[in-house]
Amino acid sequence: MSGSTDAPRLALAALFVTALVTAQLLAVKILAFDLPLGLPLVGSEIIVPAGVLAYAITFLATDCYAELYGRRPAQLLVNVGFAMILVMLSLVWLAILAPGSPAGVDPDLFARVLAPSTNVVLGGLCAYLLSQNWDVIAFHHIRERTGRKLLWVRNVGSTATSQAIDTVVFVSVAFLLAPSLLGIGTALPLPAILGLIVGQYLIKLLIALADTPVVYGIVGLARSRGLTRTTPADAD
């Protein structure tokens, strides 16, 4: 019985870490979405990292985890995830720095594709720590006022605000503060910074709204089968 009870908890943690690490690897590719009409600041095209969907899944996973198991376990999951980002970066750089064989992929091409820019890493790490911890805090702040009702309010409310923090911090650090203050990467003009923030947030907000039925499905399934072990201590 214990094994079946632990299964959804393990699955959510695995989903979170998998999506998190995948998002970091996919961030080197930039996606461009054409809009049918121009928007203020954004223009006629939205530019986002390819890992935007994978990263959005991490917020879905933490919201489900927080709802089922409490604030402290959710914050522990977030902190473990941060450690896994560092592990992933270390392994990638070990592979880049290791001697390459001509029988495989060209080492220079391998490095250009997988080596993340330092400014992007700094922006991503700062954004992750702030936004993911805020997501857990906001989720439980709303839950204290709604109880087990209105799951969609705390899911959308916590994710929408945390994604706003994530977008503003990531773009500002990666493309403005790190280049300007530390001389790392290329600084973008302020209009471009604002355009990136607005465009990326619009995509993330749409994903946050779309994932609400999935959150209801996961939480409902776990509760209907008694596969949750939330305790008063966990919810503190």
In Å, how far are 47, 135, 142, 170 from 130, measured between CA atoms?
22, 9, 18, 10
In a domain, 17, yes or no: yes
How close are the terminal C-alpha atoms of the chain, in Å? 26
pLDDT in tens, 144-189: 988 888 999 999 999 999 999 999 999 999 899 988 888 877 888 9
Q: What average pLDDT does this structure show over 196-214?
A: 92
**Angstrom distance (rounded) from CA 215 to CA 198:** 25
Count of structural domains within the chain: 1
In a domain, 18, yes or no: yes
pLDDT in tens, 127-136: 999 999 999 9
**Cβ 155 vs Cβ 212: under 8 Å:** yes
pLDDT at 228 > cutoff 70 = no
In a domain, 232, yes or no: no
DSSP 3-state of 98: coil
Range of the domain at 162: 2-224
In a domain, 231, yes or no: no
In a domain, 229, yes or no: no
How far does Cα 28 stand from its chain's mean position? 15
Q: What average pLDDT does this structure show over 231-236?
A: 44
Cα dihedral across residues 213, 210, 197, 16: positive or negative: positive
In a domain, 143, yes or no: yes
pLDDT at 235 > cutoff 80 = no
In a domain, 236, yes or no: no
pLDDT in tens, 64-107: 999 999 999 999 999 999 999 999 889 988 998 999 888 888 88
In a domain, 235, yes or no: no
